[in-house]
Amino acid sequence: MKRIGFVGLGEMGLPMARNVHARGFEVRGYDTRAEAQRAFRETGGRVAASAEEAAQEADAVIVMVRTPAQAEEVVLGDGGVLEHAPRGTLLAVMSTIGVACMRRLGAGARARGLRFLDAPVSGGRARAEAATLTVIVGGTAKDLADGRPLLEAMGSHLAHVGDVGAGTAVKMANQVLLTVSLMAAREVAAIVEAAGVSVETAWDVLRTCTGTNWVVENWPTASGWIERYTPGTSLDILVKDTGLALDLAREEGVPAPMLGLTSPMLVGLVRRLNG
C-alpha cells in the first residue's frame, strides 16, 4: 500500500496528511480551499484537482471532512470516491459523521468492491501534528491489518472496537463525556469563585481528586474554547457531535436525559457567543 488519496486538508486533515507523506507514502491531497492546497503543497505533498483525481489509482483513500453531508458528497456523490477508486481500494473515513451515515458509506463502498474502515480520531490538532492520535476503528480485522501501517502514520493508539459503525459509536461516547464535563466544569468554576476560592486553586486540588477529568486537567485549553471562541472551532464541532449522539440515542431507543440537557445548553452557549 503506497499510493494514498487524502480528501480534506483542514484543521485535522492537513497535519494528518503531512504525517502520512512524511512516512514515505505517495499522497495526493485534495481540499476545496486554495489555502489548504497551498499549505499541503508547501510540505512536498501532491495536490489533486478533485476528490475524483485523489481517488484514481489509489491503494487507499482517507476522507477527513467536517460534516455528514460533506462525507456523503465526497464518497457517494457524482464524481466521488466510489465512482473512481479502483476495486479493492481501502477507504478509511476518519471524520466524525454519525453512525447511520458511516454505515451508509460502508455499505456503499462494499457494494462497489472497496474495503472500508470506520476510523474517527480523537486528540485534537496538537496530537494530529505529533502523529499521536487515538484512532477508533470499526471494520474487519483483515482490513485493519492491511491499513494499520497507514493509520499508524497518524496515530499512536489504534483500537479495534467492532464492525463499521462501532468506531463512530465510541467516538460519540467520547464527545458526550467531553461536553458534559465541559459544561459541568463551567458551573463548578462559577460556584467556587462565588464561594471565594479561585478557579486555579480549586483545579489544583481537584486534579488530585476522584472528580478530575480531561477538562479539569486541561482547563486553559478547554476554557479557551469558550473565552477565545471563533465560529467553526471546537465548540461548533461539539455542537455537531452531540447532535449526532442524540440522533444515535433516539435511533437505538436509549434514554439519554443528561445528553438531552447538555446538548441544548451547549447550543445556547454558542448562540450567545455568536451574538
What residue spans of 43-140 are helical by DSSP H?
A: 51-55, 68-76, 81-84, 99-111, 124-130
| 2 classed as catalytic | no
Q: What is residue 98's three-state secondary structure?
A: coil
- Residues 241 and 175: beta-carbon distance below 8 Å: yes
In the chain, what are the helix, strand and coil shares in percent, each to the nearest 5? 55, 15, 30
Specify burial of residue 174 (Cβ count, 10 A radius: 0-12, 13-18, 19+): middle
Residue 121 forms beta bridges with which residues? 135
Q: Give CA torsion, residues 153, 19, 33, 175, to 10 deg.
A: 50
From first CA to last CA, the distance across the chain in angstroms is 49
Strand blocks (E) in the chain: 3-7, 26-30, 46-47, 60-63, 90-93, 115-118, 121-122, 133-138, 155-162
Closest residue by Cα to residue 143 from 114, 170, 167: 114
Q: Which of 2, 142, 171, 240 is catalytic?
A: 171
Amino acid, res. 210? T
Residues forming the active site: 171
